[in-house]
Structure 1
Amino acid sequence: MDQAPRPLKRTRIVCISDTHNQTPKLPKGDVLIHAGDLTNQGSFSELEKAVRWLEGTDFEKKIVIAGNHDTTLDANFYRENGAYFHKNHPQDTEACLKLVKDSPSITYLNHESATVRLTHPSGPHTAFKVFGSPYSPAHGLWAFGYTADQASSIWSDIPFDTDVVVTHTPPRGHCDTASPGSLGGCEALRRALWRVRPKLAVCGHKHPGRDVERVKWRLDSKNPSLKYMEDETKAWDDPGAGMGNKKESKVDALMGRMGRKETCIVNASYQATSYGAHKRFNKPIVVDIDLPVWQGEG
């Protein structure tokens, strides 16, 4: 006899990425997801500032991954290239990793999974499995890079039963605008999302790609091309867009009752412009999503 499906309840997830040593004020939510690039170059002082900011935010769970700018969190990379970033002041990678790994309120994921249960008395009492990874296609001298021939192997590590995928890189063709007319996402990651079909995929890395798309997958396709793997992509009309707009940048991703047919892809890059004296910043993206209630299980 089939077990009855667990009831679903709306859960509010606040998504942000690419803060690069900024500490913005965040909207309220149940869960915070930071998709990498906490710092500019990964120094201990930068990471300490970021961790203190994250620990001071009011969320029951805080899920954090690194990005290519968080150089000291990639110990092997920093061992070979650290002098390029901190020639006169080498950083202690063990101390830097300890900051994020030992934080009592941060779930730090380094290409690994975790099961999250919300238990606060006033919370939604939902549960989900999350996979988080800092990797992105190698470009320049930055951390956590991989080559094209490594991509498929890396993203095959995402478990089939993952509900939320957090990666620094976006998938190819979705929220991955690198510059006008240029895309910078990973094709192997897009194929992995089609295979797993998580409810939510959060990324960053490509600042101009900040956006939300809801992708409906073709479940019967064996052709790996974009045309045959996806039925449709629904665009997002940001309610918080525009100067002086005080509304939240929010999306209702309530496709939980659809089963594993759709994925809400969110590029939550906070930094809108990278250089110059007049930097611009985006609002964090708030995702309201249906997740299964765990309360009452044995």
Structure 2
Amino acid sequence: MAVSITIISDTHQMHEDLVLPGGDILIHCGDFLELFDRDGPGLGPMDEWFGRQNYHHVLVTGGNHDIALENAWQLGVKSFENAELLIDEEVTVSGLRIYGAPWLPDLPGHAFYLDDEGLRRKWSAVPSDVDILITHVPPFGILDRSSRGMQFGCAHLRDNLPRIAPRLHCFGHVHASAGEMQSGATLFVNASSAISGQKAVRPPFTIEMAPR
């Protein structure tokens, strides 16, 4: 039986503007907050909003703007009651193996930044043959071009994809490249909700996936 999945990302505290269809799984690929929201007042409203959505499961990972989320995680403080935060973690939901991790390159001083060695270590640890991979950053060369044509994907993530072989890889980070792309057996979804240059959001991405 197919599982209905809604994917969003980069809501930047505009989540109340989204209209979601409901279903089995809601995925948020990070950037709930604005960059300088270091104390996390936006996390409570975000969690309350998750609790109002019509989904059986809500799965999230962090993004580079989510400094308050990273701070809470490092202190062992639970940020969400109505969503499951995935940081280097695999869960099985509705028969689907799902792995989430927030790490990204190039932005020291932002949340969840790692250097090359850290990124190699993290992406090498992702298990093979997961059904869904949730990251914040795109893999280099896939739905990762900014409005100025620059590529902001992670090369170390790209290098591990043939081994990981996810059926669905969802992410955000690069607002201008929101969309879907099929490559081989993997559907890539840049689910960035924020529209570049506007205080507005685009509709969520929805797919259906059957367990293996």
Q: TM-score, normalised by structure 1?
A: 0.66
Q: Which amino acid aligns with 1:54?
A: F
**Correspondence list, 1:84-99, <5 A:** 97-99=77-79
Which of 62, 68, 71 is residue 75 of structure 1 equivalent to?
71
Which of 87, 95, 107 is residue 110 of structure 1 equivalent to?
87
Output the CA distance in 1 between the equivalents of 2:39 and 2:64.
13
Output the CA distance in 1 between the equivalents of 2:98 and 2:202.
25
Shift in Å, 1:281: 1.9
- Aligned residue number for residue 160 of structure 1: 128
Structure with greater Cα Rg: 1
Does 2:113 correspond to 1:145?
yes
SS of equivalent residue, structure 1 residue 32: strand
- Aligned residue number for residue 35 of structure 1: 29
- Is contact 2:14-2:200 (8 Å) kept? no
SS of equivalent residue, structure 1 residue 60: strand
Shift in Å, 1:132: 0.4
Shift in Å, 1:197: 0.7
- Aligned residue number for residue 136 of structure 1: 104
Shift in Å, 1:43: 3.3
- Is contact 1:77-1:143 (8 Å) kept? no
Output the CA distance in 2 between the equivalents of 1:290 and 1:138.
36
SS of equivalent residue, structure 1 residue 213: strand
Which of 162, 171, 177 is residue 209 of structure 1 equivalent to?
177
SS of equivalent residue, structure 1 residue 153: helix
- Aligned residue number for residue 190 of structure 2: 267
Call closer, same or farther: CA 1:27–1:76 in 2, change over 3 Å.
closer
Deviations 1:122-175 (A, max 9, x none): xxxxx1111101111131521100122332221011111311100000001111
SS of equivalent residue, structure 1 residue 69: coil
- Is contact 2:72-2:78 (8 Å) kept? no
Percent of counterpart pairs with the same letter?
Answer: 31
Output the CA distance in 2 between the equivalents of 1:129 and 1:284.
22
Output the CA distance in 2 between the equivalents of 1:16 and 1:70.
15
Q: Which amino acid aligns with 2:203?
A: K
Which of 22, 47, 53 is residue 51 of structure 1 equivalent to?
47
- Aligned residue number for residue 207 of structure 2: 287
In structure 1, stretches of 5+ residues that fail to align are 1-8, 79-92, 118-126, 217-261, 293-298
**Correspondence list, 1:15-30, <5 A:** 15-23=7-15, 24-30=18-24
Shift in Å, 1:99: 2.6
Q: Which amino acid aligns with 2:2?
A: R
Output the CA distance in 1 between the equivalents of 2:135 and 2:71.
19
In structure 2, stretches of 5+ residues that fail to align are none
Q: TM-score, normalised by structure 2?
A: 0.90
- Aligned residue number for residue 234 of structure 1: none
Call closer, same or farther: CA 1:128–1:70 in 2, change over 3 Å.
same
Q: Which amino acid aligns with 1:44?
A: G
